[in-house]
Amino acid sequence: MIDTAPLLLESRHEVGVHLVRINRPAKRNALNLALRQALAATFERLADEAEVRCVVITGEGSCFVGGADVREMQGLGPYEVMERDIPRYWRPILRFPKPLIAAVNGPALGGGMELALQADIILASEAATFGQPEIRLGLMPGAGGTQQLVRALGRHRAMRMLFTGEAIDARTAHESGLVSEIVAADQLLDRALGLGRQIAAMPRVAVNLIKEVALAGLDLPLDAALSLERKAHMLLYASPDLREGLAAFIEKRAARFE
């Protein structure tokens, strides 16, 4: 079992909110192989823990993630990169079935931006920046940046970032729809955890189905996506939480979801 403690700091909060801090501040939280393995192992574990309802991820120090650890890239050829199979470490995050909130406390660059793009909701401090600077190394994103950035920002803004390596600030990211909220730096984590608690208090099965259907529908024709939504909607009529939610609404009281 991978020891994640040196690389990730974790804490459990009330109502099922789990905080994960990336803990390489002296290296701007750069993604080396050990950190990627630790992230994958952590998200695989959290996916299986029923008491975890929502996860918040942030960076320790003044940076979210400054990118990949460039020193590990030197001297690698295509065969060595293929053997490392870095995408396998992203899959547990990309396929994480529960709500994931990124609290971006500083630069999110390269692999750091790709990590933020895996989140369902991005909150940013005023010091946050977002960019894919791989082109400046003679490289391109390799963990979803070209695909997810275009989906998140639209072709024209995304292509400018990808072609030039230019970063955008939190305000621009918010105006473009990438960031859902800008929060003062000293309030960012509290706001992210508060939003996590709000989501964790919702009926778990409905929340997880919403995520599954919404993300699956992105890559489906509209008719197929609507069919998937209707079937998931019907499934929830078997949920005790629906009966409780309807009763609470009629009785004008707060719902007590199981």
Give the residue from 98, 18, 84 showing the smallest Cα distance to 57: 18
Provide CB contacts within 8 A for 149, sequence distance 6+. Answer: 113, 117, 132, 141, 158, 161, 162
3-state DSSP call for residue 132? coil
Structure tokens at 35: 């950190």
Per CATH, the architecture of 204-250 is what? Orthogonal Bundle (1.10)
Structure tokens at 203: 């009926």
Q: Does 183 or 6 have the greater pLDDT score?
A: 183
Task: Return the CATH superfamily for domain 8-200.
Answer: 2-enoyl-CoA Hydratase; Chain A, domain 1 (3.90.226.10)
pLDDT digits (tens, 9 = 90+) for 205-232: 999 999 999 999 988 999 999 999 999 9
- Domain ranges, ordered by start, for the chain: 8-200, 204-250
Instruction: Tell me the mean pLDDT in the region 102-112.
Output: 96
pLDDT digits (tens, 9 = 90+) for 150-204: 989 999 999 999 999 999 999 999 999 999 999 999 999 999 999 999 999 999 9
pTM of the model: 0.91
Instruction: Tell me the mean pLDDT in the region 222-243.
Output: 91
Q: Is the pLDDT of residue 1 over 50?
A: no
Give the residue from 208, 206, 228 showing the smallest Cα distance to 217: 228
Residues with catalytic roles: 68, 111, 114, 134
pLDDT digits (tens, 9 = 90+) for 42-84: 999 999 999 999 999 999 999 999 987 767 666 667 767 677 6
Identify the pLDDT of residue 75. 67
Average pLDDT over the chain, rounded to an integer: 90
pLDDT above 70 coverage of the chain, percent: 94
Identify the pLDDT of residue 2. 47
Instruction: Tell me the mean pLDDT in the region 233-242.
Output: 90
